Amino acid sequence: MREEDRNDIRNLPLFRNMTSPCFDALIHAAYDQVFPAQLELIRQGEVANFLHVVLEGAVELYANWQDRDTTMAVVQPVATFILAACMRDAPYLMSARTLQRSRIVLIPAVDVRAAFSRDHGFALATVQELSEGYRNLVRHAKNLKLRNARERLGAYLWQRSQDAGGVAGFVLPQEKRLLASYLGMTPESLSRAFKALRDHGVHIDGMRVTITDPAALKALVQPNTLLDTALNIP
Amino acid sequence: MREEDRNDIRNLPLFRNMTSPCFDALIHAAYDQVFPAQLELIRQGEVANFLHVVLEGAVELYANWQDRDTTMAVVQPVATFILAACMRDAPYLMSARTLQRSRIVLIPAVDVRAAFSRDHGFALATVQELSEGYRNLVRHAKNLKLRNARERLGAYLWQRSQDAGGVAGFVLPQEKRLLASYLGMTPESLSRAFKALRDHGVHIDGMRVTITDPAALKALVQPNTLLDTALNIP
DNA sequence: CAAAAATCTTGATATTTGTCAATCAATGAT
DNA sequence: ATCATTGATTGACAAATATCAAGATTTTTG
């Protein structure tokens, strides 16, 4: 593994407070691999053998039932995924595929669990990470149940804008069909939701979004840290 | 606190493997209280000061945004709630109210966090509890996104029947309006979903449910441990 | 570069779900 | 027991969202 990658992982909140011997042991047991785009990394139902760390690229977490699919999250560098299944030693509830060519570190779940018992700083960080993951899922569920399609899109756009530092213009980071699935609607409905948002201060041109009237969008969306996964909501 | 209640708490997976001194310290710091029905125990947005343990009665976890409300879960004895907010020392994302007269133990969050650092068995149990909570929320979100209203009700009824030991008949444990909100629909839609399920082996009479054709219901619902959460709403 | 494939948009239409209003049924209070 | 309140159901209708089909646009591939 490259020194730079090792440091990126080391700096994640999950690993930041580990003792060096424990971190080294964990990294030593890990595999660093590059996967092409559109590769299925994990299939829901399989037992969780590895904690995954995305170093480069992007990974989609999705789920399916019968012939229906839905996107649950997109994981971008540098971040871990499926910690809960690893800690429980249980089957994955979601599948994962690369969206782009991605560099991913695989840490054996058994070593993660061992580190939890050996290193208190890591145990603390694990609980913080799981708790925040839990809370973000509560927000996602609240969002799905309390807002309609147009409001969910508006809230997403508002949040993106805030995360980018409160800028008015930005580029969508993923395909619209993926965004639609994540927000719990069809691509057609997403298209129409974008059109409906023109009356609420949002201009769209291809992948480029411009918030022409932040006050109007904010009034529609009523952003709220209890609903929106927010780094930056005033 | 009554000896019996203390033992009930002691036997919860979360507390089972604590050392006795740690458990005693935690319980000593706790308050045991009885609340009347329909009392608001927690309001979303407040900082989490207590881990709650329901000993008797039932508690509804719900959320609201603008003028809309939704039920997120019903907690029945003996179980804890809002562990994640306590561990993060963060604002509650959900409100809580008693559905019936309830006996509830309040454990100061600061003591819970201290116990996490002092007692490894408790730390392990905390992570297991949070992970399972996380996974149940993933199931809830998948259910909302992948199934329609009729399928969600069918899956719920199937799960209830399984939890009761595979029986054909049982009584709904909560008001239908609560169930409707939990399942993400209006009471009217729930009523119509019940009617629609008559063609899929479900008979309803007031609060009494009879599964007249388990095979038909199962075919509709396609129950699946990756989707159906065991005992989220009892 | 051109052809092919995939994504996105739009219109027409269908289905699902919500809203409103009325009624019925159950429950609790006096 | 009777009245009042709350919850459940039903019908009529409206709104939201999905589906299907056709083009338009973009991306990928040979």
Q: Is the CB of B25 under 7 A from strand D?
A: no
CA-to-CA distance for A138 and B139, rounded, in angstroms?
Answer: 12
Share of chain B above pLDDT 70, in %: 98
pLDDT at B234: 43
Residue with tokens 């690993």: A15
Q: Is the CB of A205 under 7 A from strand D?
A: no
Residues from chain B contacting residue A134 (CB–CB below 8 Å): 84, 130, 133-134, 137
pLDDT at B230: 65
Question: Which pLDDT tens digit goes with each residue over B101-151?
Answer: 999 999 999 999 999 999 999 999 999 999 999 999 999 999 999 999 999
The answer for B84, left when phi > 0, alpha when psi is -120 to 50, beta otherwise, is alpha
Architecture of domain A147-221: Orthogonal Bundle (1.10)
Q: Is the CB of B27 under 7 A from strand D?
A: no
Question: Which pLDDT tens digit goes with each residue over A210-220?
Answer: 999 999 999 99
CA of A36 to C1' of D30 (A): 20
Exposed / middle / buried, residue B20 (Cβ in 10 Å: 0-12, 13-18, 19+): exposed
Confidence of residue A232 (pLDDT cuts 50, 70, 90): very low
- Quick one: which of A175, A165, A178, A146 has its CA closest to A211? A165
| β-bridge partners, A51 | A107
Residues from chain B contacting residue A95 (CB–CB below 8 Å): none
Q: Is the predicted pLDDT of residue B232 greater than 50, yes or no?
A: no
Chain D nucleotides reached by a protein CB under 7 Å? 7-12, 16-21, 25-26
The helix/strand/coil state of A103 is strand
Residues from chain A contacting residue B83 (CB–CB below 8 Å): 131
Exposed / middle / buried, residue B35 (Cβ in 10 Å: 0-12, 13-18, 19+): middle
CA-to-CA distance for B190 and B180, rounded, in angstroms?
Answer: 6
> Which residue does chain B place closest to A73, by CA atoms?
B138
Query: B216: which 2 tokens?
Result: 């038909």
Nucleotide nearest to B68 (CA to C1'): C18
Q: Is A136 part of the contact surface with chain B (CB cutoff 8 Å)?
A: no
State the DSSP code for B197.
Answer: G
Q: Please tell me which residue, B231 or B134, carries the higher pLDDT value.
A: B134
Q: In chain B, what are the domain boundaries?
A: 3-143, 147-221
For range A33-55, the mean pLDDT: 95
Q: Is B20 part of the contact surface with chain A (CB cutoff 8 Å)?
A: no
Question: Which pLDDT tens digit goes with each residue over A122-152?
Answer: 999 999 999 999 999 999 999 999 999 999 9
| Those residues with Cβ within 8 angstroms of residue B68's Cβ, 6 or more apart along the chain or in another chain | A146
pLDDT at B231: 52
Q: Among B85, B126, B137, select the one facing A141 at the smallest CB separation.
A: B137
Average pLDDT, chain A: 94
CA of B55 to C1' of C5 (A): 60
Question: Which pLDDT tens digit goes with each residue over A172-198?
Answer: 999 999 999 999 999 999 999 999 999
pLDDT at A1: 80
Pick from A69, A145, A148, A181 the residue to mutate for testing the B interface (most B CBs within 10 Å): A145
Q: Is B132 part of the contact surface with chain A (CB cutoff 8 Å)?
A: yes
Q: Among A93, A126, A128, select the one facing B88 at the smallest CB separation.
A: A128
Exposed / middle / buried, residue B84 (Cβ in 10 Å: 0-12, 13-18, 19+): buried
| β-bridge partners, B209 | B170, B204
The answer for A172, left when phi > 0, alpha when psi is -120 to 50, beta otherwise, is beta
Residue ranges with strand state E in chain B: 31-35, 40-42, 50-56, 59-65, 68-75, 79-81, 95-98, 102-108, 169-171, 202-205, 208-211
State the DSSP code for B206.
Answer: T
Question: Which pLDDT tens digit goes with each residue over B151-191?
Answer: 999 999 999 999 999 999 999 999 999 999 999 999 999 99
For range A104-117, the mean pLDDT: 96
Tallying the residues shown for chain A, one arrives at 234
Residues of A numbered 85-124 whose beta carbons fall under 8 angstroms of chain B's beta carbons: which are they? 85, 87-88, 90-91, 93-94, 116-117, 120, 123-124
Exposed / middle / buried, residue A191 (Cβ in 10 Å: 0-12, 13-18, 19+): middle
Confidence of residue A234 (pLDDT cuts 50, 70, 90): very low
- Report how many helices (DSSP H) and strands (DSSP E) chain B contains, helices first: 10, 11
- Report the 3 state secondary structure along A36-83: CCCCEEECCCCECCEEEEEEECCEEEEEEECCEEEEEEEECCCEEECH
Question: Which pLDDT tens digit goes with each residue over A58-73?
Answer: 999 999 999 999 999 9
CA-to-CA distance for A53 and A6, rounded, in angstroms?
Answer: 11
**Å between B107 CA and nearest CA of chain A:** 18
CA B229 to chain centre: 10
Q: Is the predicted pLDDT of residue B27 greater than 50, yes or no?
A: yes
Fold of A3-143: Jelly Rolls (2.60.120)
pLDDT at A2: 86
Structure ipTM: 0.94
| Those residues with Cβ within 8 angstroms of residue A77's Cβ, 6 or more apart along the chain or in another chain | A8, A54, A55, A56, A57, A58
Q: Is the predicted pLDDT of residue B89 greater than 50, yes or no?
A: yes
